[in-house]
Amino acid sequence: MQSKFPNVGGIVPWGRAGVGAVATQSLANTAYGEQGLDLIAQGARAEEALRTVMRTDTMLQDRQVGLVDARGNAASFTGKATFDWAGGRVGAPSGRGSVLGGKGEVIAGRGYAAQANIMVSDQTVRNLAESFERTRGSLADRLMTALKAGQAGGGDKRGMQSAALLVVRKRGGYLGANDRFIDIRVYDAPDPIAELDRLLTLHKLHFFPSEPQDLIPIGPAVVAQLEPILVNEPANQPEKWLQSRQGRVTPAFLEALKNFMYWENYDVRVRMDGKIDKVVLNDILKNRKQ
């Protein structure tokens, strides 16, 4: 999401692994996030959960909400009092194309819910939907591509200020200890989407586990690249990671490399099997050329 509003990520997005996701916006009512996810967890479809919370909303026509449940059902609502342009789209039940909804309408479909208010035109939501439908890859990458396309359609009439990206996955968080797979927030920035994109790249490096195809053996060439770093760092510390050059992979070398990688925040990519993630290796070497 992106908005001319500070810290949109602290208000709009809600998600629960294996349950669903909610975006509550336009004078956001967080009950749609909390109660909506509770209802879905109890078996309600996205539209049922939306309509249930709507019944108790005393400012219903000021709201805009989107819900998607883990079974693929989607629903969106835009209140009659929201600022123009305002509306939403959900994936068509057939799986091809989308369903458009204007003010005062609840629309239901499959796969995704996209909505916006105070827009230059309806092109932003159209771009969001069409881009998400045709893009392949990870959910995070598809969402980022859709967000950029939405902004290219005009975006918020007032400009840009904050952005956020939330993806939940069972035990997908730091070292598998929670479900916050991706939770990135840009509180305030001149170009929050560009900053969000930069932070996603950084997040992948430091929080995504290694891909099998990125693992390479630590041969003599890799040792030659890393040993000068290990015998000279940490900077301004008397004790270095490696006390003397080994010239090959030894237990002392692997222990030094492990401690160095933890120090440099590559925690989830640490290994002790004689291999290294080439993504990490490239980042280590790049940072020491600057």
φ, ψ (nearest 5 deg) of residue 20: 170, -170
CA-CA distance, 233 to 257, in Å (whole number)? 11
CA-CA distance, 23 to 150, in Å (whole number)? 16
Tens of pLDDT, residue by residue, the chain (290 residues): 999 999 999 999 999 999 999 999 999 999 999 999 999 999 999 999 999 999 999 999 999 999 999 999 999 999 999 999 999 999 999 888 999 999 999 999 999 999 999 999 999 999 999 999 999 999 999 999 999 999 999 999 999 999 999 999 999 999 899 999 999 999 999 999 999 999 999 999 999 999 999 999 999 999 999 999 999 999 989 999 999 999 999 999 999 999 999 999 999 999 999 999 999 999 999 999 85
Q: What is the pLDDT of residue 289?
A: 84
Range of the domain at 221: 212-287
Q: What is the pLDDT of residue 287?
A: 93
Per-residue DSSP letters for 255-276?
A: HHHHHHHHHTT-GGG---SSEE
Domain-terminating residue out of 207, 229, 257: 207
Total structural domains within the chain:
2
Q: Which of 71, 70, 23, 89 is nearest to 50 (CA)?
A: 23
End-to-end CA distance of the chain: 33
φ, ψ (nearest 5 deg) of residue 66: -130, 140
Q: What is the pLDDT of residue 290?
A: 57
Question: Within this chain, do residues 44 and 83 fall inside the same structural domain, yes or no?
Answer: yes
Print burial letters for 164-193: b (CB count within 10 Å at least 16), e (below 16): bbbbbeeebbeeeeebbbbbbbbeeeeebb
CA-CA distance, 139 to 165, in Å (whole number)? 10
Question: Within this chain, do residues 163 and 196 fall inside the same structural domain, yes or no?
Answer: yes
Question: Within this chain, do residues 82 and 116 fall inside the same structural domain, yes or no?
Answer: yes
**CA-based angle 18:105:161, to the nearest 5?**
70
DSSP count for the chain of H helices, then E strands: 8, 13
Question: Within this chain, do residues 221 and 120 fall inside the same structural domain, yes or no?
Answer: no
CA-CA distance, 260 to 252, in Å (whole number)? 12
- Amino acid at position 270, single letter: V
List, edge to edge, every strand of the sheet that includes 64-69: 13-16, 20-25, 64-69, 73-78, 105-110
What's the CATH number where 48 sits? 3.60.20.10
Question: Within this chain, do residues 142 and 241 fall inside the same structural domain, yes or no?
Answer: no
Domain-terminating residue out of 207, 223, 252: 207
Structure tokens at 204: 């992948």
Task: Evaluate whether 90 touches 75 at the Cβ level (below 8 Å).
Answer: yes
CA-CA distance, 158 to 156, in Å (whole number)? 5
Question: Within this chain, do residues 120 and 246 fall inside the same structural domain, yes or no?
Answer: no
Question: Within this chain, do residues 203 and 217 fall inside the same structural domain, yes or no?
Answer: no
Q: What is the pLDDT of residue 173?
A: 94
Q: How many CB atoms are closer than 10 A to CB 217?
A: 11
**CA-based angle 132:12:198, to the nearest 5?**
60
| Structural element, H or E, at residue 197 | helix 192-207
Question: Within this chain, do residues 229 and 107 fall inside the same structural domain, yes or no?
Answer: no
CA-CA distance, 33 to 82, in Å (whole number)? 19
Question: Within this chain, do residues 149 and 195 fall inside the same structural domain, yes or no?
Answer: yes
